[in-house]
């Protein structure tokens, strides 16, 4: 009797999971992602659903599946993360499918801890491991510490013995209360020590932030002014509250001072952009080479531009004063993190400008603040220890990392969360922070997974009540602790997934491995490690024994660690990942599937495929899949999980991936057969189209379609021992990926047969000319091939023809009062263009109302958007591609609203131009 299929291998309520996963990215208060920053963290909703569906037997009929789908729909909602009624029902279903003995769950690349946390929430024994000590500490703070002290009241004198509404201190609420109390004590102590470095405004206002511009000497010998480098002079773009910095130039003295202006008008252009800089005194264009030379020779300075203070429900913008600068210059840090920044040119730009150490990323005042708060973690720990003993906790002297649960371990636990709050502060207290004039607040260091060069930077005030203040950091941490499940005891350990992941077998393994070279976790996390090591080095000697995080064994394909060799970096990644997968196969429980999250955008690799076109494959995907298949796994299912917000910083103006693909794997059968290339191609043509149709029905974003199609295609590839080429050699994964992409292109092209003839003409014209003009004769010839005419296309209202030239009408040229029912020659082409116009020009509700009036057009319009995106992506028309991608992403919402569903109305902003203003 074979192994029974699990629900995840048959069906999932993908729409419900994806809606909640995308929504979750906008949830802040109490969400575990706000405990500590980690990169590419998987949404809790997706992790919860994947684990749940991996353990449940597929019932074998639609009626029972629908019941499970309804439960999953409730289970993935953020509102239900601590709903014991829903969770109990889910746990009972797990017990039913596992014979009352659910297996333990392991994530050997645990990162930010989402997968182990959700396993724990589902009542499963949860284990996480990672090579990176920062990741391990985050995961311990989520799954290991809270259960150890669950149900205990706080020990601080203010709350000691107090009960919550007569119900006691549920979960980790007592621990959370202590973290806030001792965090507040740290603020009071810090203000006594360094409060004088944070002066008030001229009328006693509390300062929120100081805005500085970096400066270098002008290369013009006749000028040589200290020229400010400013991306933007805007302070606030809010309606009726506009404010900006006005530079006042004294050309005789070769100096610049700054004033603050408000009201009508606006600032001059910034003095630096992607092309270079400009001296505001003499107007000389300045190359980045000169700016770099100045920085590397230690000649880069800074000048105060403005001060932001707290007003009565508003920001007050003040001109800089000499006294504010003088006080800032009084700061002298006792310690500096002098470790070198990595030589990682892609992600770390500051070394190009002379900022080569971690200390260089901070002003002296910021270093004083961070060292003060780091040191106060130790002081707070001593107070917790004394108060815990006074509250009656046993003083057994066993520390937290040795498994203690007494007063010493409790003091270590509180100190852990206080140190994580220091890291949150560091994210807002560096010179990589910038001012967000759209929202009037500080943008943190890691707006994306890199450390760029920021020209006009912000220095926040730890003692204010605004962005990045200390109590705010503590409050974020406290809210997370209060919301954690704190039920079964979990474990997180620092282990190398290529050599040691667990000491026992029979695990359900679900993991999110590194994405080739996408994210340099070790390099980035050193920014936080330096402060954690100072705060917690004695509490966790096992995690903080080295100066920086481990680099050499890390599974990322970063050429700079291999003397610039991409080949050596790729081999390191492939071999390491294969070892890890082999170990996972040994440790995993074969009664349950092995699930992997993966997200890596494909790109042309410079080689030609069978058709002569550039082959679209991905070294990241190729390497991961090769390692997986060589370790003996086959892919049984693939699910595109929508895991990102479309508005996140990295995706604005780009076609960034919005989904992770979850691969559902089982060990490949020992008697798997080999097949020929022709048999593989036949299987692709037979099995891939239905799978792609299902992906389209799930409204997967067109930007993700290429990587989503990898799953069903590689499912065919991986179930065989090998695919034999005509010369008898095994087909490599790279070739298979190229063939899968060709099959995807063929599928999308074949869908054109379902469109009306005018739309087929418009597609062919668009693919050749875009929105440009071409000769009438060409249009007429093409119209004959599509069984229409130029006159008929004009009547359909999709083109304009004059002076012997023809072009497609742009969306904005279409009549505003269009009524689909009145169309004499309705076309899917026009329907798509109007839907995009409504969606981005008005709102989702307006687009849904239009869709409702388009009888019989719906699915065809969505399919056309996929095809148009595919064309735009191939031609490099990024702005137009974003429009079609956005329509499909919104399709599920439009369908819900069209049928009378409820939901918050959204107006989407769309910018056809990619770009930015910083040298990154």
Distance between CA 418 and CA 374 in Å, rounded?
A: 9
3-class secondary structure per residue, 397-462: CCCHHHCCCCHHHHHHHHHHHHHHHHHHHHHHCCCCCEEECCCCEEECCCCCCCECCCCEEEEECC
Q: Is residue 659 part of a domain?
A: no
Q: What is the pLDDT of residues 563-596, one digit of tens each?
A: 889 899 989 989 999 999 999 999 999 999 999 9
Interval 382-401: pLDDT, tens: 999 999 999 999 998 999 99
pTM above 0.75, yes or no: yes
Proportion of the chain above pLDDT 70, given as a percent? 93
* Alpha-carbon span 366 to 380, nearest angstrom: 21
Of 633, 640, 641, which is closest to residue 593 (Cα–Cα)? 633
Would you say residue 684 lies in a domain?
A: no
DSSP 172-186: THHHHHHHHHHHHHH
pLDDT of amino acid 2 = 62
**What does the pLDDT average to over 479-483?**
96
Given a cut of 50, is residue 908 above it in pLDDT? Answer: no
Residue 268 included in any domain? yes
Closest CA to 452 of 607, 649, 597: 649
Residue 638 structure tokens: 């693939």
pLDDT-based confidence at residue 610 (cuts at 50, 70, 90): very low
Tell me: pLDDT of 442 over 50: yes
Residue 601: pLDDT band (50, 70, 90) is low
Joined tokens for residue 320? 């800089």
Strands 105-107 and 456-460: unpaired
**Higher pLDDT, residue 651 or 329:** 329
Residue percentage of the chain with pLDDT more than 90: 69
Question: Cα separations (Å) of 772 from 767, 799, 820, 874, 877?
Answer: 11, 11, 26, 17, 13
Residues 272, 275, 280, 285, Cα dihedral to 10° = 160
Query: For the segment 127-136, what is each residue's pLDDT rounded down to a tens digit?
Result: 999 999 999 9
Residue 823 near residue 854, CB atoms below 8 Å: no
Report pLDDT digits (tens) over 212-223.
Answer: 999 999 999 999
Answer positive or negative: Cα dihedral of 3, 666, 709, 73.
Answer: positive
The 3-state DSSP class for residue 904 equals coil
The pLDDT, as a whole number, for residue 384 is 98
Residue 872, domain member (yes or no) = yes
Q: Which residue, 869, 648, 747, 694, is CA-closest to 14?
A: 694
Q: Higher-confidence residue: 706 or 258?
A: 258
Residue 303 lies in domain: 197-364
Q: Is residue 422 part of a domain?
A: no
**Pairing state of beta strands 434-436 and 441-443?**
antiparallel
The answer as to whether 352 is a domain residue is yes
Q: How far from chain centre, in Å, is Cα 448?
A: 8
Q: What sections of 122-172 are H helices per DSSP?
A: 133-139, 145-148
Least confident residue range of 177-181, 849-853, 900-904? 900-904
Q: Would you say 403 and 370 are in contact if contact means Cβ atoms under 8 Å apart? A: no
Residue 726 has pLDDT above 50, yes or no: yes
Q: Please write the tens of the pLDDT for every residue from 621-649.
A: 888 899 999 999 999 888 888 755 443 33
- Reported confidence tier of residue 159, pLDDT bands at 50, 70, 90: confident
In the chain, the number of structural domains is 2
Q: Is 624 left (phi over 0), alpha (psi -120 to 50) or beta?
A: alpha
Confidence bin at 163 (pLDDT 50/70/90): low
* pLDDT at residue 288 in the model: 96
Q: Which residue has the higher pLDDT, 699 or 283?
A: 283
Which of 49-63, 192-206, 226-240, 771-785 bottoms out in mean pLDDT, i.e. has the lowest?
A: 771-785
Q: Is residue 296 part of a domain?
A: yes
pLDDT band at 898 (very low <50, low <70, confident <90, very high): confident
User: What pLDDT is recorded for position 696?
Assistant: 80
What's the order of all strands across the beta sheet hosting 659-667?
491-494, 126-130, 105-107, 508-511, 594-598, 659-667, 633-642
Q: Identify the CA nearest to 920 among candidates 704, 551, 649.
A: 649
Q: What is the pLDDT of residue 524?
A: 95
Torsion angle (degrees, nearest 10) of CA 625, 631, 632, 637? -40
Q: How much is the average pLDDT of 540-558?
A: 92
pLDDT at site 502: 75
Average pLDDT of the chain, as a whole number: 89
Task: Give residue 272's pLDDT band: very low, low, confident or very high (50, 70, 90).
Answer: very high
117: nearest Cα among 485, 414, 493, 482? 485
Crossing angle between the packed helical segments 828-841 and 878-889, to the nearest 10 degrees: 90
Q: What pLDDT is stored for residue 651 in this prediction?
A: 36
Q: Grade residue 907 by pLDDT with cuts at 50, 70 and 90.
A: very low
| Structure confidence at residue 206 (pLDDT) | 96
37 assigned to some structural domain: no
- Residue 843 makes CB contacts below 8 A (sequence gap 6+) with 905, 906, 907, 908
pLDDT at residue 912 in the model: 27
Identify the pLDDT of residue 167: 56
Position 305 scores a pLDDT of 98
Residue with tokens 């190359």: 287
Q: Tell me: pLDDT of 503 over 80.
A: no
Distance CA 884, CA 44 (A): 28
Is 181's pLDDT higher than 80?
yes
192: Cβ–Cβ under 8 A, 6 or more apart, which residues?
none
658 or 86: whose pLDDT is higher? Answer: 86
pLDDT at 761: 92
Distance CA 318, CA 324 (A): 11
How many whole angstroms separate alpha carbon 591 and alpha carbon 839?
46
Mean pLDDT of 40-69: 95
Q: 60 is written with which tokens? A: 């074998």
> Which residue shows structure tokens 């149709």?
693
Residue 443's DSSP bridge partners are: 434
Radius of gyration of the chain from its Cα atoms, rounded to whole angstroms: 30
Find the range with the poorest average confidence among 603-607, 673-677, 787-791. Answer: 603-607
Does 422 score more than 70 pLDDT?
yes
Chain position carrying tokens 């330096």: 530
Q: Is the pLDDT of residue 613 over 50?
A: no
Determine the average pLDDT of the residues in 343-350: 90
Helix (H) or strand (E) holding 212: strand 207-217
Q: What is the pLDDT of residue 711?
A: 84
| CA of residue 523 relative to chain centroid, distance | 17
Helix axes 702-718, 858-875, angle to 10 degrees: 90
Residue 917 has pLDDT above 80, yes or no: no
Q: Which two tokens stand for residue 121?
A: 């929430």
**Residues 698, 702: Cα–Cα separation, whole Å:** 11
Q: Give the residue, 802 or 593, on which the prediction is more confident.
A: 593
Boundary-marking domain end, from 364, 386, 415: 364
Percent of the chain as helix, strand, coil, to the nearest 5: 45, 15, 40
């Amino acid at each position: 009797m074979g192994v029974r299929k699990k629900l995840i291998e048959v069906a999932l309520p993908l729409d419900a999971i994806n809606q909640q996963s995308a929504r979750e990215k906008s949830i802040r208060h109490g969400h575990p992602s706000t405990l500590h920053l980690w990169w590419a963290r998987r949404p809790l909703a997706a992790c919860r659903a994947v684990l749940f569906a991996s353990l449940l037997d597929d019932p074998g009929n639609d009626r029972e599946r629908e019941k499970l789908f309804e439960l999953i729909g409730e289970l993935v909602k953020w509102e239900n993360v601590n709903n014991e009624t829903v969770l109990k029902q889910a746990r009972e279903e797990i017990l039913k499918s596992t014979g009352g003995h659910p297996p333990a769950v392991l994530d050997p690349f645990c990162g930010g801890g989402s997968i182990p946390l959700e396993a724990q929430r589902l009542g499963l024994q949860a284990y996480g491991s990672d090579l990176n000590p920062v990741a391990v500490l985050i995961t311990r703070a989520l799954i290991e510490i809270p259960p150890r002290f669950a149900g205990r009241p706080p020990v601080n004198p203010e709350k000691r013995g107090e009960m919550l509404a007569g119900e006691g201190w549920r979960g980790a609420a007592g621990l959370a209360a202590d973290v806030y109390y001792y965090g507040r004590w740290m603020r009071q102590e810090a203000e006594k020590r360094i409060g004088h470095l944070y002066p008030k405004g001229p009328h006693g206002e509390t300062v929120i932030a100081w805005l500085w511009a970096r400066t270098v000497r002008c290369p013009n010998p006749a000028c040589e002014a200290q020229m400010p480098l400013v991306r933007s002079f805007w302070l606030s773009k809010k309606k009726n509250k506009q404010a900006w910095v006005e530079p006042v130039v004294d050309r005789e003295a070769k100096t610049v001072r700054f004033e603050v202006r408000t009201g009508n008008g606006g600032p001059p252009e910034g003095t630096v952009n992607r092309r270079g800089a400009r001296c505001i005194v003499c107007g000389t264009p300045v190359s980045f080479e000169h700016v770099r030379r100045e920085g590397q020779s230690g000649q880069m300075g800074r000048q105060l531009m403005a001060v932001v203070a707290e007003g009565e429900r508003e920001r007050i913008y003040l001109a800089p004063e000499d006294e504010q600068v003088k006080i800032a210059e009084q700061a002298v840090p006792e310690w500096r993190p002098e470790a070198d920044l990595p030589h990682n040119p892609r992600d770390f730009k500051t070394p190009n400008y002379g900022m080569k150490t971690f200390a260089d990323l901070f002003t002296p005042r910021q270093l004083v603040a961070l060292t003060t708060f780091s040191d106060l973690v130790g002081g707070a720990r001593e107070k917790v220890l004394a108060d815990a003993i006074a509250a009656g906790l046993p003083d057994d002297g066993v520390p937290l990392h040795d498994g203690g649960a007494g007063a010493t371990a409790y003091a270590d636990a509180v100190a852990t969360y206080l140190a994580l709050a220091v890291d949150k502060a560091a994210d807002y207290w560096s010179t990589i922070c910038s001012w967000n004039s759209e929202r009037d607040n500080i943008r943190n260091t890691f707006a994306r997974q890199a450390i760029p060069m920021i020209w006009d930077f912000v220095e926040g005030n730890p003692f204010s009540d605004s962005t990045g203040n200390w109590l705010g950091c503590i409050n974020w941490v406290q809210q997370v602790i209060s919301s954690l499940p704190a039920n079964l005891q979990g474990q997180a350990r620092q282990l190398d997934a290529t050599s040691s992941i667990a000491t026992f077998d029979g695990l359900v393994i679900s993991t999110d491995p590194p994405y080739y070279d996408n994210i340099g976790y070790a390099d980035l996390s050193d920014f936080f490690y330096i402060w954690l090591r100072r705060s917690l080095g004695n509490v966790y000697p096992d995690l903080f024994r080295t100066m920086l995080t481990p680099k050499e064994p890390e599974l990322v394909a970063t050429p700079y660690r291999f003397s610039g060799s991409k080949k050596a970096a790729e081999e390191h990644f492939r071999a390491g990942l294969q070892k890890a997968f082999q170990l996972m196969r040994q440790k995993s429980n074969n009664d349950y599937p092995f699930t992997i999250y993966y997200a890596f955008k494909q790109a042309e690799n410079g080689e030609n495929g069978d058709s002569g076109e550039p082959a679209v494959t991905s070294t990241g995907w190729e390497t991961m899949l090769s390692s997986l298949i060589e370790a003996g796994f086959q892919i049984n299912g693939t699910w595109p999980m929508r895991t990102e917000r479309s508005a996140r910083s990295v995706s604005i103006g780009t076609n960034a991936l919005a989904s992770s693909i979850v691969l559902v794997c089982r060990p490949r059968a020992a008697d798997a057969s080999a097949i020929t290339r022709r048999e593989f191609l036949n299987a692709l043509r037979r099995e891939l189209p239905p799978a792609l149709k299902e992906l389209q029905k799930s409204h997967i974003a067109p930007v993700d379609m290429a990587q989503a199609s990898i799953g069903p295609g590689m499912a065919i590839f991986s179930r065989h021992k090998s695919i034999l080429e005509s010369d008898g050699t095994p087909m490599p994964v790279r070739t298979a990926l190229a063939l899968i992409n060709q099959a995807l292109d063929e599928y999308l092209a074949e869908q054109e047969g379902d469109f009306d003839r005018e739309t087929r003409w418009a597609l062919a014209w668009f693919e050749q000319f875009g929105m440009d003009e071409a000769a009438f004769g060409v249009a007429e010839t093409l119209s004959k091939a599509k069984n229409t005419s130029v006159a008929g296309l004009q009547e359909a209202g999709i083109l304009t023809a004059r002076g012997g030239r023809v072009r497609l009408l742009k969306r904005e040229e279409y009549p505003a009062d269009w009524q689909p029912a009145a169309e004499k020659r309705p076309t899917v082409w026009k329907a798509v263009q109007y839907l995009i116009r409504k969606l981005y020009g008005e709102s989702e509700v307006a687009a849904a109302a239009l869709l409702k009036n388009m009888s019989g057009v719906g699915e065809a319009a969505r399919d056309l958007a996929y095809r148009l995106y595919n064309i735009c992506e191939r031609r490099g028309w990024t702005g137009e591609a974003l429009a079609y991608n956005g329509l499909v992403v919104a399709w599920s919402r439009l369908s819900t609203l069209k049928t009378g569903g409820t939901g918050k109305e959204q107006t989407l902003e769309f910018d056809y131009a990619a770009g930015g203003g910083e040298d990154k």
